[in-house]
Amino acid sequence: MKNKFSILDLGIAVSATLGLTLLALNLAEGEKKVVSRLKTLYGVRDPQFLRSMGVLLGPGIEEGNRIEYLENGDRIFPAMLDAIRSAQKTITFETFIYWSGTIGRALAEALRERAQAGVRVHVLLDWAGSVRMESELLDRMKRDGVEVERYHQPRWYHLGRMNNRTHRKLLVVDGRLGFTGGVGIADQWLGNAQDEDHWRDAHFRVEGPVVSKFQAVFMDNWVKATGRVLHSADYFPRLEPAGDLPAQMFSSSPTGGSESMHLMYLLAIAAAQESILLSSAYFVPDALAVDALVDAALRGVKVRIITPGKYIDTIMVRRASRARWGRLLEAGIEIYEYLPTMFHCKVMIIDGYLVSTGSTNFDNRSFRLNDEANLNIYDEGFAGMMTGVFERDLQRARRVDLDQWRHRPLQQKAVEHATSLLGKQL
């Protein structure tokens, strides 16, 4: 009997040790992180800023692009479906959220039809983000020739990567037409943000040389997931100028530069001289980001931030976010909560010149844990148009009052600050 208990105790100890080890692996941050504030050395229009963004951080700035802003599902999904249905050679598609529903079925049907027509279709779905997708939908796509892979599906030999997800939203058709932004494939994104059941979001349709960088970012994770390299002219054709916008596709990953997206945001904020407009679906800034925003406000930059209000899919994020607003509000930064529905936009505009948009949230999960991709556009006209979008959203948001924030109920404060301790995982 004594020996049986000893074996049982040993089994429990081994299981507990394994569980704690996996937890530690998933919570650990492997690479060194930025720990000091960045000095303001130049503005976003300064050639040195562009050199820093295009050389220090890796991706070059491509001239000659055409970029179209798409607002909400009523404009986003028809444009994506039209692009897919027009494909002649290749489709590559990577996304975090893919659930079953009206748009999930419509997109799957369009991908299936193109695969049956001989187009090579490659789909990379994050495992965690697509667990709510019907298996029948996946099976039908695979049967009809769509190559579908699940990113970081749990397996015994890499359980330590379970916490690292691909959050990228990328669609590339024939290597010539790209889409990126905040939208996921679920019915919450349908419609025109007309009520709390239909979300507010932004997506972008892109033509021109920068699309080749969209494809390169997709290939980064496709190779990690499959070990297969797609490299012919059908994926990387010669791309002529399609417009006049300079742009770069910026990516980050825990396995290859987890700090780069964080650093890109910090550099842009440090370069701001006039204004920072931030639309953020999940706004949980770390201490360094708070410092950067406060420093900007104290040197005279007007900082305005729109976040979700009561309609949010992750209430823990809202609580953790609100716990961190004190120094921002005290510095004169204006924070607004969007009222009509879930606000899922991810757009930053600096000095009416730089627009950065894509999958990245303003939180530690995006900056250090997820694979992310952002499109940076350097143009006053495009930034002016997007500023108009921001101002329209502002009309449907309520400004947070510092005095009211300070005097919110003690129980609410306690819950928010307790939740904020989980900020590294939010």
Instruction: Determine the Cα–Cα distance for residues 172 and 169; give it in Å rounded to an integer.
Output: 10
Report CA-CA distances (Å) from 70 to 103, 129, 203: 16, 23, 5
Torsion angle, CA of 154/156/157/160, rounded to 10 degrees?
60
The catalytically annotated residue of 122, 152, 198, 344 is 344
Active-site residue (options: 122, 152, 167, 198)? 167
Query: Would you call 407 a catalytic residue per the annotation?
Result: no
For the chain, how big is the Rg over CA atoms in Å? 22
Of 126, 286, 351, 371, which one is the catalytic site residue? 351
Catalytic residue among 122, 126, 152, 169: 169
Eight-state DSSP code of residue 171:
E
Specify whether 351 is catalytic: yes
The DSSP-derived string for 360-373 is --EEHIIIIISBEE
Catalytic residue list contains 158: no
Query: Is 417 part of the annotated catalytic residue set?
Result: no
Catalytic option among 126, 346, 363, 371: 346
Active site residue 262: no
Catalytic status, residue 169: yes
Q: Strand pairing partners for 249? A: 375
CA distance 295 to 328: 10
CB atoms within 10 A of CB 371: 28
Phi/psi zone of residue 191: left (φ > 0), alpha (ψ -120 to 50 degrees), beta?
left
Options 174, 220, 295, 379, the catalytic residue = 174
Helices (H), 58-146: 72-85, 102-116, 135-143
CB 281 within 8 A of CB 51: no
List, by residue number, the catalytic residues.
167, 169, 174, 344, 346, 351
